[in-house]
């Protein structure tokens, strides 16, 4: 069962709150992510990694392509699934360039935003 866009946004608020605490990032540094403003700092990178971990798309400390697609199927509204999966497909190899989960999460997220800004959702 998919969520509506509003339900998805509501569940993202919880992720945001949890990961703000875990990563220690200042909220104003992550405010712009939805608009494509990615501040290249370790705390921001680890905040994004936390969101991905909490979304269950990290396996063995690496972003997992299949798990990402599965989460889109579970969480995203029907009208957003195709574009989200297309962005994941376009960006699936970005993570392989980085050993560090925070860095691979950050650059993957930035790629996903750039591939389809109007459908990008992030807490």
Domain that holds residue 53: 5-119
pTM of the model: 0.93
Residue 63 dihedral angles phi and psi, to the nearest 5°: -65, 135
How many domains in the chain? 1
pLDDT for 20-73, tens place per residue?
999 999 999 999 999 999 999 999 999 999 999 999 999 999 999 999 999 999
Band (pLDDT 50/70/90 cuts) for residue 1 is low
pLDDT for 89-117, tens place per residue?
999 999 999 999 999 999 999 999 999 99
Band (pLDDT 50/70/90 cuts) for residue 8 is confident
Measuring CA to CA, which residue among 87, 13, 85 is closest to residue 54? 13
Residue 27 dihedral angles phi and psi, to the nearest 5°: -60, -35
CA angle, residues 77, 113, 59, in degrees to nearest 5: 75
User: Residue 16 belongs to a domain with what CATH number?
Assistant: 1.10.238.20
Q: Quick check: helix, strand or coil at residue 19?
A: helix
pLDDT of residue 114: 97
Measuring CA to CA, which residue among 46, 107, 117, 49 is closest to residue 84? 117
Rg (CA), the chain: 13
């Amino acid at each position: 069962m998919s969520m509506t866009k509003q339900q998805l946004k509501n569940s993202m608020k919880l992720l945001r709150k949890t990961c703000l605490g875990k990563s220690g990032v200042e909220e104003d540094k992550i405010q712009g992510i939805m608009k494509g403003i990615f501040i290249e700092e370790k705390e921001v990178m680890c905040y994004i990694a936390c969101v991905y971990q909490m979304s269950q798309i990290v396996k063995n400390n690496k972003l997992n392509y299949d798990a990402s697609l599965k989460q889109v199927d579970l969480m995203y509204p029907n009208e957003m699934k195709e574009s989200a999966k297309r962005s994941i497909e376009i960006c699936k190899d970005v993570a392989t360039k980085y050993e560090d989960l925070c860095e691979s999460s950050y650059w993957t997220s930035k790629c996903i935003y750039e591939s389809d800004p109007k459908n990008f959702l992030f807490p």
